[in-house]
Amino acid sequence: MVRQHGAARALGFCGVRPMDLAGLRILNLFYRFAPAAWGRGLAGEAATAVVT
């Protein structure tokens, strides 16, 4: 769950899920954010947090 610091309301979510693609085991990075959160760099920040 992605929230603005100190806020209770969620802005979206981000994660990594293993999956099979053409016979290969890969990691799928996924995220969804409310339109109000778009353009603020949150997807990049969240993606960095889940893969490091």
- Predicted local distance difference test score (pLDDT) of residue 27: 94
- Predicted local distance difference test score (pLDDT) of residue 17: 96
- Predicted local distance difference test score (pLDDT) of residue 25: 97
pLDDT, tens only, 15-42: 999 999 999 999 999 999 999 999 999 9
pTM value is 0.78
Query: Please, which pLDDT band fits residue 14 given cuts at 50, 70 and 90?
Result: very high
- Predicted local distance difference test score (pLDDT) of residue 22: 97
Domain ranges of the chain: 2-51
The CA–CA distances, whole Å, from 27 to 3, 13, 20, 42, 43 equal: 24, 16, 8, 20, 17
